[in-house]
Amino acid sequence: MAAPARTAAPSREERQACWGARDAYWRCLDAHADAAPCRTLRGSFEAACPPQWIKYFDKRRDYLKFKEKFEAGQFQPSEKTAKS
């Protein structure tokens, strides 16, 4: 069931359901090197959250993972970036 498209802000219960689905999906991604085992949780995440939130959360996770690697000294720039 997809989240209904609407202009009103989600209710508290809808926000909590979205955040819970996001957190479960992110925990799954953290536990697996491959995203395939997390497909069901991704579906739940997409069903519970508005599309613009999904886009934001996906970008946020990418940023947080980059920041985590960078701060740990594990970030390796690509050859293209290194030559710039």
Confidence of residue 72 (pLDDT cuts 50, 70, 90): confident
Work out the angle between the directed axes of helices 12-31 and 51-71 (0-180°, nearest 10). 40
Helical ranges in the chain per DSSP H: 12-31, 39-48, 51-71, 79-83
pLDDT mean over 38-53: 97
Q: Give the 3-state secondary structure of residue 52.
A: helix
pLDDT mean over 11-28: 97
Amino acid letter, 61: R
Q: What is the value of pTM for the model shown?
A: 0.77
More confident position, 41 or 77: 41
pLDDT mean over 13-22: 97
